[in-house]
């Protein structure tokens, strides 16, 4: 593990002189000669643009997709879920981003992940890379200060979601003192709600004593939805389709299962029915309210690649592969599903090719709420 002060920023390293000192001074022993955090950011940006990072010119969409796709399929075929988590990757560290929370930290993670999507043109081909570090349940000023000192050493950008106003203020002051660029993610949102509701925020992080329990109606609804969805997966118990809020229909590898559990986490009871060539779907599929059935479709070339990867992961022999991932078979199966979808005109046909689970879920839930609320402008409404 190399020291952070040498200029090379390794991942997950703690400089031992600082780490071993329980109370090092806030104004680090080697203060940087910079006027302000803003100036430091500009200087850093200039430094990077002037050569420390390769050109950021856009690849063509085709180049990017081809690369992404082959990477994804290769990853799937290599059995990526072998227990290796991303933080086990070796290699030179990327730009460092810290997320610090006195709660779970999931809000910071979600927002930063979404914002990083704006830099995919650079991240996907690893012309630049980013290492994020999420520190959750940071409820003591001492630990907060230690993290910010470490952020200064690693030249990290710090995002924080600290509900406790004293902790948020301490983080701000320490970051300013050490010239660490920082953003309070929840602060402006909470302030705006404060003005809007005319009620002061509690200042208590999630799970803190004194904060009301979150085990509300919504909580139980969500647990029941998850349990229902798991039991219904892959066409199991078709007699229960009537209890589902949403029924997904599609051939194998159209993301039915991950889509179902994703929406179940949001409180929807989702069932899915696989379409298999030569096997009729259960009669219940046509007996339930047809407004809750959603048909999934996918590009055949894309499907073939996914199925090939899947066959390898499952260790299928060459004969099984022929049936499952053979182009002729795939075309026939998709043609069969297309015909079925045409015969059932109430089912919206949702294209999943190249979409992340969240994107397909957004499309389905938008239609779901549109059909229920008959709003002029489709929206997903919720009462708190």
Write out the binding residues for a copy of itself, residues 163-222 only, by CB under 8 A: 163, 181, 183, 185-186, 188-190, 192-204, 206-207, 209-222
Residues 296 and 247 sit within 8 Å (Cβ to Cβ): no
Residues 303 and 256 sit within 8 Å (Cβ to Cβ): no
**From candidates 145, 313, 316, 367, binder to a copy of itself by CB under 8 A:** 313
Q: State which residue, 302 or 336, has the beta carbon closest to a copy of itself.
A: 302
Chain positions 4 to 23 lying near a copy of itself, rule: CB under 8 A, are: 11-12, 14, 19
CB of 283 to a copy of itself, least distance (A): 21
Chain positions 329 to 348 lying near a copy of itself, rule: CB under 8 A, are: none
Binding string, 146-165, against a copy of itself, x = CB under 8 A? xx--x------x-x-x-x--
How many residues bind to a copy of itself according to rule CB under 8 A?
A: 155
Q: How far apart are CA 40 and CA 156, in angstroms?
A: 12
Q: State which residue, 237 or 340, has the beta carbon closest to a copy of itself.
A: 237
Helical packing angle, 300-314 and 318-325, nearest 10°: 160
Q: State which residue, 29 or 60, has the beta carbon closest to a copy of itself.
A: 60
Binding string, 266-285, against a copy of itself, x = CB under 8 A? -xxx----------------
- Which residues fall within 8 angstroms of residue 205, CB to CB, at 6 or more apart? 101, 102, 103, 137, 139, 162, 163, 164, 211
Q: How far apart are CA 175 and CA 151, in angstroms?
A: 9
10 Å CB burial of residue 263 (0-12, 13-18, 19+) is buried
| DSSP state string for 202-227 | --PPTT-TTSPP---HHHHHHHHHHH
Chain positions 222 to 261 lying near a copy of itself, rule: CB under 8 A, are: 222-228, 230, 233, 243, 245, 255, 257-258, 261
Q: State which residue, 238 or 267, has the beta carbon closest to a copy of itself.
A: 267
Binding string, 92-111, against a copy of itself, x = CB under 8 A? --xx-x-----xxxxx-xxx
Q: State which residue, 3 or 192, has the beta carbon closest to a copy of itself.
A: 192
Q: How far apart are CA 272 and CA 244, in angstroms?
A: 9
Token reading at 122: 């650079």
CB of 382 to a copy of itself, least distance (A): 5
Chain positions 349 to 368 lying near a copy of itself, rule: CB under 8 A, are: 354-359, 361-363, 366
**From candidates 21, 27, 89, 169, binder to a copy of itself by CB under 8 A:** 89
Binding segment (CB under 8 A) for a copy of itself, from list 115-123, 278-286, 316-324, 334-342: 115-123
Residue with tokens 């051939």: 251
Residues 256 and 296 sit within 8 Å (Cβ to Cβ): yes
Q: How far apart are CA 41 and CA 312, in angstroms?
A: 47
Q: What's the angle, vertex CA 359, arms to CA 108 and CA 264, rounded to 5?
A: 80
Q: How far apart are CA 189 and CA 196, in angstroms?
A: 10
CB of 218 to a copy of itself, least distance (A): 7
Kindly state whether residue 24 participates in binding a copy of itself, applying the rule CB under 8 A: no
Chain positions 29 to 58 lying near a copy of itself, rule: CB under 8 A, are: 41-42, 44-49, 53, 56
């Amino acid at each position: 593990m190399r020291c952070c002060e040498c200029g090379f920023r390794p991942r997950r390293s703690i400089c031992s002189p600082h780490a071993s000192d329980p109370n090092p001074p806030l104004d680090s022993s080697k203060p940087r000669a910079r006027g302000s955090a803003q100036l430091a950011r500009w200087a850093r940006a200039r430094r990077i643009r002037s050569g420390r990072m390769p050109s950021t010119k856009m690849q063509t969409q085709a180049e990017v997709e081809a690369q992404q796709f082959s990477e994804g399929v290769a990853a799937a075929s290599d059995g990526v879920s072998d227990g290796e988590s991303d933080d086990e990757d070796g290699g030179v560290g990327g730009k460092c981003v810290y997320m610090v929370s006195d709660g779970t930290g999931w809000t910071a993670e979600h927002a930063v992940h979404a914002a990083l999507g704006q830099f995919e043109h650079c991240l996907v081909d690893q012309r630049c890379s980013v290492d994020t570090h999420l520190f959750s349940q940071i409820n003591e000023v001492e630990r907060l200060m230690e993290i910010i000192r470490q952020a200064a050493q690693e030249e990290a950008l710090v995002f924080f979601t600290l509900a406790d106003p004293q902790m948020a203020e301490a983080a701000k002051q320490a970051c300013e003192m050490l010239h660490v660029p920082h953003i309070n993610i929840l602060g402006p949102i909470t302030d705006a709600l404060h003005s809007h509701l005319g009620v002061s925020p509690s200042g208590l992080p999630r799970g803190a004593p004194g904060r009301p329990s979150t085990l509300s109606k919504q909580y139980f609804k969500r647990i029941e939805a998850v349990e229902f969805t798991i039991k219904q997966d892959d066409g199991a118990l078709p007699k229960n389709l009537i209890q589902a809020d949403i029924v997904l229909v599609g051939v194998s590898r159209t993301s039915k299962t991950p889509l179902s559990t994703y929406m179940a986490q949001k409180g929807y009871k989702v069932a899915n029915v696989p379409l298999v060539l030569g096997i009729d779907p259960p009669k219940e599929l046509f007996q339930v309210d047809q407004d809750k059935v959603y048909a999934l479709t996918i590009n055949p070339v894309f499907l073939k690649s996914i199925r090939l990867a899947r066959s390898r992961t499952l260790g299928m022999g060459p004969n099984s592969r022929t049936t499952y991932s053979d182009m002729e078979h795939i075309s026939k199966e998709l043609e069969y599903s297309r015909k079925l979808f045409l015969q059932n005109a109430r089912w919206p046909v949702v294209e999943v090719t190249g979409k992340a689970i969240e994107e397909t879920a957004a499309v389905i839930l938008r239609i779901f709420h549109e059909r229920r609320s008959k709003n002029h402008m489709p929206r997903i409404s919720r009462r708190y």
